[in-house]
């Protein structure tokens, strides 16, 4: 589903006084929207051509610290500018913000106007172009899980995130009565996103108190990544407007289930035929799909960082909590890292269940697509299917246990260096290093409670 404004309809809406603000947005390393609020008149009179931002936006951490050690920028280079180039095909209304439209931007070099190679949108676009060179078009969808809290963001900040109380008090997985308590926010979310041209299919209660899931119709990979980023930002804004808070942390409390972002993937021919479907083949999986799945499995460990980018991400991989612990494939089995959905139908696809709700969708999709295409290009053979309780499977391929393990695999990956480029791998390895350095520096509540008196 395309965004719901053309440049001409935007101009008409501005002339009629319906829109007075345009958000020009890029995506940072963490998958968040960054950018500027334009007066709509200035945007349509010339601002739509390009604007600028500081290049530190692709070299900061979650708290916007100016992290050193990146080759692309730093104090020694003076933190210069990037060009923000609006992609006018992404123009859309944002109904939850009064009289406001939004456009996604690509990041370009200030001097050459070439795309910044380590920008998340550019990384994904390169893998899409690689697929198209094979006559294929990748389609994807993400399922986002998150928790809703009674308190608002400002209140939680002021109390140092103590006394968190979810809006729901008990497990309301698929429950209609239970999720009715959260409906004031979730109805606004569904309708607000749909009004922004994001084709919401449904929302549902998830398998933990106060947890919800939002499901959006599949689309081409770049559109899906854009919608994912806008959805997270929009849900936070709509929650804030109602005095609530939400979190997309992979694991906000050790006693609670984590929040995932499953990624559904399929390839279609350029003339619109499902390349993963073969009605004569086992499970309806074409040979191409089998090669693609084999690529995902072959490179699962190397690309884990792009599915689980923070220290906290790895606390989600717990036996019995519906997050996988094994990077193997299975049929309609929620204990597997990779699940085949829609077998024996043209909707047959692979669902990656490894990623958390904290992933950057552009990076995750790019890594998954690169791995699958490598399997197709090398005609990798698919290993036998796993079945049963994969938490207990002996000898099955494990998901890396920690960010340190995943960072080492990223740094040493010949595959990722070839697919994404040495500079991209080095850039995101530095991000992982910084996360680990900060973890080692900070004294946690757990350490204080455990050792203050008893050490």
pLDDT at 322: 80
- 52 DSSP β-pair partners: 83
Considering the entire predicted model, what is its pTM? Answer: 0.97
For the chain, list the domains and their CATH numbers: 7-116 (3.10.20.70), 127-447 (3.30.590.10)
Is residue 172 over pLDDT 90? no
CA–CA separation, 119 and 8 (whole Å): 29
pLDDT at 207: 86
Q: Note the pLDDT tens digit of each residue in 87-118.
A: 999 999 999 999 999 999 999 999 999 999 99
Q: Note the pLDDT tens digit of each residue in 242-256.
A: 999 999 999 999 999
When pLDDT is cut at 50, 70 and 90, the band that residue 396 belongs to is: confident
What is the pairing mode between strands 21-27 and 100-109?
Answer: parallel
When pLDDT is cut at 50, 70 and 90, the band that residue 176 belongs to is: confident
When pLDDT is cut at 50, 70 and 90, the band that residue 46 belongs to is: very high
pLDDT at 278: 96
Q: Note the pLDDT tens digit of each residue in 128-157.
A: 999 999 999 999 999 999 999 999 999 999
Kindly state the tokens that stand for 250.
């992979």
CA–CA separation, 206 and 323 (whole Å): 13
Q: Note the pLDDT tens digit of each residue in 334-374.
A: 889 999 999 999 999 999 999 999 999 999 999 999 999 99
Is residue 394 over pLDDT 90? no
Q: What is the mean pLDDT of the chain?
A: 95
Find, among 299, 296, 293, the residue nearest to 276 by Cα.
293
Query: How large is the greatest C-alpha to C-alpha distance in the chain, in angstroms?
Result: 69
Quick one: average pLDDT of 277-295?
A: 97
Is residue 182 over pLDDT 70? yes
Is residue 1 over pLDDT 60? no
Q: Note the pLDDT tens digit of each residue in 415-443.
A: 999 999 999 999 999 999 999 999 999 99
Q: Note the pLDDT tens digit of each residue in 208-227.
A: 999 999 999 999 999 999 99
Q: In sequence order, what E strands does 282-417 have?
A: 329-331, 338-341, 349-352
Q: In sequence order, what E strands does 219-323 have?
A: 219-220, 245-247, 261-269
pLDDT at 254: 92
pLDDT at 2: 64
**Burial label, 250 (beta-carbon count in 10 A; 0-12, 13-18, 19+):** buried
pLDDT at 389: 83
CA–CA separation, 167 and 127 (whole Å): 40
CA–CA separation, 365 and 358 (whole Å): 13
pLDDT at 125: 98
Q: Using CA atoms of 24, 27, 33, 38 in order, give the dihedral in degrees to the nearest 10.
A: -10
């Amino acid at each position: 589903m395309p965004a719901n404004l053309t440049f001409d309809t935007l101009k008409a809406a501005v002339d009629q006084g319906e829109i007075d603000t345009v958000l020009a947005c890029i995506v940072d390393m963490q998958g968040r929207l960054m950018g500027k609020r334009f007066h709509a008149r200035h945007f349509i009179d010339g601002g739509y051509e390009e604007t600028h931002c500081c290049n530190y936006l692709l070299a900061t951490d979650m708290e916007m610290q100016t992290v050193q050690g990146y080759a692309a920028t730093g104090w020694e280079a003076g933190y210069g500018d990037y060009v923000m180039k609006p992609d006018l095909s992404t123009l859309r209304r944002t109904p939850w913000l009064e009289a406001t439209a939004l456009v996604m931007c690509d990041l370009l070099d200030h001097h050459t106007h070439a795309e910044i190679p380590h920008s998340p949108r550019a990384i994904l676009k390169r893998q899409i172009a690689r697929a198209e060179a094979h006559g294929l078009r990748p389609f994807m969808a993400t399922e986002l899980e998150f928790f809703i809290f009674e308190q608002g963001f400002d209140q939680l900040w002021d109390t140092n995130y103590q006394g968190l109380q979810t809006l729901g008090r008990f497990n309301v997985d698929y429950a209609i009565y239970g999720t009715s308590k959260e409906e004031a926010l979730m109805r606004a979310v569904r309708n607000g996103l749909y009004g922004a041209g994001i084709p919401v299919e449904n929302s549902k209660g998830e398998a933990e108190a106060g947890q919800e899931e939002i499901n959006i119709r599949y689309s081409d990979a770049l559109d899906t990544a854009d919608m994912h980023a806008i959805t997270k930002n929009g849900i936070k804004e709509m929650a804030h407007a109602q005095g609530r808070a939400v979190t997309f942390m992979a694991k906000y409390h050790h006693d609670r289930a984590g929040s995932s972002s499953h990624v559904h993937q399929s390839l279609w021919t350029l003339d619109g035929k499902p390349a993963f479907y073969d009605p004569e083949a086992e499970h309806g999986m074409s040979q191409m799909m089998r090669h693609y799945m084999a690529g995902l499995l072959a490179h699962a460990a190397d690309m884990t960082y792009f599915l689980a980018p923070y220290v906290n991400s790895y606390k989600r991989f717990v036996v019995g909590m519906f997050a996988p612990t094994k990077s193997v494939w299975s049929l309609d089995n929620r204990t597997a890292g990779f699940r085949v959905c829609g077998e024996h139908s043209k909707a047959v696809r692979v669902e990656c269940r490894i990623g958390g709700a904290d992933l950057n969708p552009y990076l995750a999709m790019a890594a998954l697509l690169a791995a699958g295409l490598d399997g197709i290009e090398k005609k990798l053979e698919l290993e036998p299917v796993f079945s049963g309780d994969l938490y207990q499977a002996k000898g099955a391929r494990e998901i890396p246990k920690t960010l340190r393990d995943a960072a080492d695999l990223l740094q040493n990956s010949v595959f990722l260096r070839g697919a994404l480029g040495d500079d991209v791998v080095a850039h995101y390895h530095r991000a992982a290093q910084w996360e680990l350095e900060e973890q080692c520096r900070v004294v946690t509540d757990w350490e204080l409670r455990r050792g203050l008196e008893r050490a």
